[in-house]
Amino acid sequence: MKFDTPATTNAIDQLKVVGKPLDRIDGPFKCTGSAPYAYERHDVLPQAAYGVVVGAGIAKGRIASMDLAAARAAPGVLAVVTARNAGKLAKGKMNTAKLLGGPQIDHYHQAIALVVAQTFEQARAAAELVRVRYESTPGAYDLAALKDSAKTAKPNENTGPTETAVGDFAGAFDAAPVQLDTTYTTPDQSHAMMEPHATLAAWDGDKLTVWTSNQMIDWGVSDLARTLGVPKKNVRLISPFIGGGFGGKLFVRADALLAALGARAARRPVKVALQRPLIFNNTTHRPATIQRIRIGAGKDGRISAIAHESWSGDLPGGGPEAAVLQTRLLYAGAHRMTAMRLAELDLPEGNAMRAPGEAPGLMALEVAMDELAERLGMDPVALRILNDTQVDPEKPARPFTQRSLVQCLRHGAERFGWNARQASPGTRREGRWLVGMGVAAAFRNNMLQASGARVRLDSQGRVTVETDMTDIGTGTYTILAQTAAETMGLPLERITVRLGDSLMPVSCGSGGQWGAANSTAGVYAACMALRRQVAQKLGLDPAAAQFADGQVTAGGRTVPLAQAAGGGELVAEDKIEYDKALSEKAQQSTFGAHFVEVGVDVDSCEIRVRRMLAVCAAGRILNPKSARSQVIGAMTMGVGAALMEDLVVDKRRGFFVNHDLAGYEVPVHADIPHQEVVFLDEVDASSTPLKAKGVGELGICGVGAAVANAIYNATGVRVRDYPITLDKLLERMPTGA
C-alpha cells in the first residue's frame, strides 16, 4: 500500500478498539514467567552447550600471545573460538567483524575468545584459564582533551548535514541586546537493560537459526549473513520477546556472532549471554558530549540568533551524537548555525540510546533557554511560547504538518500550577527542603519507514497477524492486535499476533519511536488487502463492504466473516510505503512539555523529585495505557540522566569503571514520585493511515533539563555538567541557605 494521499477517514477511525486503554495481551506470559526469552528456549534446544566470552584486558594494542591449552583441557570444554580459528569475517553494516578482536584490540572488553562447554559453570571456569599477553599502545580516552582537535563529523542518514547555517549568525549575535554563551556537558551513559545481550544459535547443515534479543530482525539477519559469509536466505533470526533494548539491541552484538561461531565449532547448539561488565564495555553506549550554545535575543525576548555546537567521540569510522538536531527545528530565529564535531576515541562504540541526539541535546538547549529567560526577566514558559514557529526555521517554506508545542506548554503550566512558581531562585522553603519548579520543551521527529505484515483468516473467523516486528516491552503485540481487530471488525480475543521471526514479512522494527506508527500501518495495509479478498470471496463490493462484529455487510447483505475462508484460510500480505515527496514538503515532528518539582535538602543537598508532568502531542494515541507506560519509563530515564547516570572513564586505561548494576546508578521506585501524563487529543493524517506518531522517546526528551531547571529554581545554583550530584551543589550552595 502506497501512502501518498492521506484519507480523511478510514476503517481505523471507528475507534472501537484502537485508542482504548487495553491491557497488554503479552502481560500474563511475562507475569507468569512463560514468555520465552532468547536464553530461555529450553523447549527448542534442550541439549544446548554454553559459551562464555573472554573480553580484552586492554583498551588499545594487540594480542602478543594467547595460550589456550589449559582452557581446552578443562572439564567439559567442547571448543574455543578465537579470531585465528573463526574463519574470515566480513565487515557488516555495523562493522560486525570487529565483534571478535585479535590480534588488534580496538577497545576494552572487546571479545577475543569464546569458550564452549557442556555447562555454564564449566565454560566460565575454563574461560578463566585463557592466558593472554598483550602489547599495549597509548590510546585516546578523554573527550575534553581532544575537543580542540576534533573534526567536523561526516554526515550519515541519522545526522543529515553535520553543519548548517542560515543567515548571518555571527553578525546577528554580536548585535543582539541580550546574549547567552554557555557550555554544557553530558557524560557517557549505558542502556543498563534488565535482560542481557543473549543468543542461542544452532546450525542445520549450512543453515543457521539464532534465537536472540534484537530490536531489528532484518538488519540482524543481513549483518550476520554478511559477516559469516553465508546467503541471507540461510539465516533465520527469532526474537519474540525482548527484555529491554533502548537502542542497545538495534544491531547484532558479540553474543550473536560468537554463538553462531561457537555452534559451528562445537557442532551443537550454543547459547551465549554477555556478562554484565561486557554489556557496559563491549556493547554500545550513549557517548559523552560537550555542547556550546549561543543565543542572541531582543529585549522583548525574540530570538534573533541561535547556534548549537556539539562535540562527541567514537571509535575510528564511527559517528557523532547528533545533539544539535532539535535546535534546527524547535525555536524561531532568522540567523542560525549548528555543527557536530567528532573526536576519535578508543572507548567502546558510541551509538543509539533512547532518543539519540535529542535526549542529550535538549539537556543543554532547554537549560540555555531558562538561562536566557532569567537574563530577560521573562517567565520560561512565556519565552518558549514567544519563540514558537509553525514552519521549519531553516526552511521557512516547509510547514510542520502539526505543531502543538504551545498547547503543551500552556496546558501543562495550568495543570502543574506553574503560576505558584517563585521567579527568584532559592526563595521557597518547606522545612529542611528548598523547593523549585522547572520546565522544558520536548521534541522528537516522526520517522516514516516501510513496514510489512501478513494476515490469515481461518474458518473459525480468527485472524492471525505475522510480522518480524519486535516487542521490546512497549506493547507491540497489543497495538498490532488492536489494529487488526479494528480493521477486520473483530473483538481483540479473535486476533493472534506472532512477532519477531525473519521468516515473516519485514517490518520497520523497534527503535527511534518509529515502531508503533509504522508497524500498525503495515498491519493495516495487510488487513485492507485481506478485506478485499474477503469481499470478493463473498461476492460483495470491496469498496462498499463494512466489517463489524464478525460480519461483512454490503449491498443489503450481511455475511459472517468466517464464511470467506471456507474450510481453509485466506492469506494476504502487504506493506506500507511512503511518498518521500511528502517529507520534503512538510516537517513531521512530535512535541511535548515537561514540568518537574524538586526538593533539595539545605544541609546535605540531597535532591528529591517530588512531582512530574508530561504533556505530549504525538498524533493519535493507539493505546493510552501502554503509551503512558512508555512515557513514564522515559521520564524515569530522564531523571537518571539528570541526577545519577555517569559511565566513569578510567582515562589511563580506557574503560568504564562502573561496569555493573551496583556501580552504575539508575533510579529505583523510591526515587520516582507519581508521574502524570497527558496526551493532547490530536491526529496527524499526514503521518500514517492510523494518523499516529511515536511517543516512546518523546517522553525522555527535555526531562533532564526540566530537572536541572527545577534544581536551579530551588537553590540558585546552576550546574551545567551532568549528572547533577549533591557534591556539585554543596561546593556552591550559598552560606546560610
Q: State pLDDT tens for residues 249-294.
A: 999 999 999 999 999 999 999 999 999 999 999 999 999 999 999 9
Which position has the higher pLDDT, 97 or 30? 30
Owning domain of residue 52? 42-138+192-281
Q: Is the pLDDT of residue 92 over 80?
A: no
Among 553, 568, 584, identify where a domain stops. Answer: 584
Q: What is the pLDDT of residue 399?
A: 97
Q: Is the pLDDT confidence value at 584 over 90?
A: no
pLDDT digits (tens, 9 = 90+) for 142-184: 999 999 999 999 998 889 999 999 999 999 999 999 999 999 9
- pLDDT over 90 at 735, yes or no: no
Are 655 and 734 in the same domain?
yes
Q: Is residue 174 part of a domain?
A: no
Last residue of a domain, one of 552, 584, 616: 584
Q: CATH number of the domain that 472 lies in?
A: 3.30.365.10
Q: Is residue 163 part of a domain?
A: no
Residue 363 in domain: no
pLDDT of residue 90: 87
Could you give the CA distance from residue 73 to residue 303 in angstroms, rounded to a whole number? 70
Residues with Cβ within 8 Å of residue 628, at least 6 apart in sequence: 677
Q: Count, in order, helices (H) and strands (E) of the chain.
A: 17, 33
d(CA 319, CA 351): 8
Mean pLDDT for 641-658 is 98
Q: Report which of 517, 525, 390, 500 is spatially closest to residue 447, judged by C-alpha positions.
A: 517
Residue type, 714: A
Looking at the structure, tell me whether residues 721 and 637 fall in a common domain. Answer: yes
Of the residues 584, 613, 631, the one at which a domain ends: 584
Domain check: are 659 and 731 in the same one?
yes
Q: What is the mean pLDDT of residues 522-533?
A: 98
Residue 47 has pLDDT above 80, yes or no: yes
Q: How far is CA 144 from CA 179, 289, 310, 344, in A?
A: 25, 9, 12, 12
Cell numbers representing residue 388 in the block: 514558537
Q: Say whether pLDDT at 6 is over 90.
A: no
**Cell for 185?**
556537558
Q: Classify residue 312 as left (phi > 0), alpha (psi -120 to 50) or beta.
A: beta
Residues 277 and 205 occupy one common structural domain: yes
| Backbone angles phi and psi of 531, in degrees to 5 | -60, -40
Average pLDDT over residues 112-136: 98
**Is the residue at 420 inside a domain?**
yes
Q: How many CB atoms lie within 10 A of CB 572?
A: 19
**521 domain residue, yes or no:** yes
pLDDT of the residue at 76: 98
- Whether residue 119 lies inside any domain: the answer is yes
Position 536 pLDDT exceeds 80: yes
Q: Residues 646-654: what's their mean pLDDT? A: 97
pLDDT at 9 over 70: yes
pLDDT level of residue 41 (50, 70, 90 thresholds):
confident
Report the number of distinct structural domains present in the chain. 3
Query: Which residue is listed with cell 516512546?
Result: 696
One domain, residues 457 and 392: no
112 domain-assigned: yes
pLDDT of residue 343: 98
- Look at residue 290 and tell me if it is in a domain: no
**In the predicted structure, residue 736 carries a pLDDT above the cut 60:** no
Identify whether residues 249 and 209 lie together within a single domain: yes
Does residue 600 sit in the same domain as residue 580? no
- Average pLDDT over the chain, rounded to an integer: 96
What is the rounded distance in angstroms from the CA atom of residue 51 to the CA atom of residue 199? 10
- pLDDT at res. 7: 67
Does 93 score more than 70 pLDDT? no
Give the mean pLDDT of 400-423. Answer: 98
pLDDT at 42: 72
Whether residue 215 sits in one domain with residue 80: yes
From the list 338, 340, 335, the residue with the least C-alpha distance to 327 is: 338
What per-residue confidence (pLDDT) applies to 43?
Answer: 74
pLDDT at residue 94 in the model? 62
Q: Are both 734 and 613 inside the same structural domain?
A: yes
Band of the pLDDT at 245, cuts 50, 70, 90? very high
Give the separation between CA 701 and CA 631, rounded to whole angstroms.
10
- The answer, yes or no, to whether residue 392 has pLDDT greater than 70, is yes
Share above pLDDT 90 across residues of the chain, in percent, rounded to a whole number: 94
Model pLDDT for residues 207-230, shown as the tens digit of each residue:
999 999 999 999 999 999 999 999
Query: Is a pLDDT exceeding 90 seen at residue 582?
Result: no
Q: Indicate the pLDDT class of residue 97, thresholds 50, 70 and 90.
A: low
Q: What is the pTM of this model?
A: 0.97
- Active-site residue, 606 included: no
Give the pLDDT mean for 665-675.
Answer: 96
Structural contact between residues 607 and 600, judged by C-beta atoms closer than 8 angstroms? yes
Query: pLDDT tens digits, residue range 548-572?
Result: 999 999 999 999 999 999 999 999 9
Residue of 40, 121, 697, 731 marked active site? 697
Percentage of the chain beyond pLDDT 70 is 99
Residues 674 and 733 occupy one common structural domain:
yes
For residues 530 and 381, state if they share a domain.
no
Q: What is the pLDDT of residues 292-329, one digit of tens each?
A: 999 999 999 999 999 999 999 999 999 999 999 999 99
Is residue 463 located within the same domain as residue 422?
no
pLDDT at 734: 79
Poorest-confidence range of 80-94, 191-205, 472-486, 655-669? Answer: 80-94
Q: Name every residue whose Cβ is closer than 8 Å to that of residue 375 and which is 6 or more positions away in sequence.
A: 178, 180
Cell readout for 382 is: 512565556
271 φ, ψ (degrees, to nearest 5): -115, 140
> What pLDDT band is residue 580 in, cutting at 50, 70 and 90?
confident
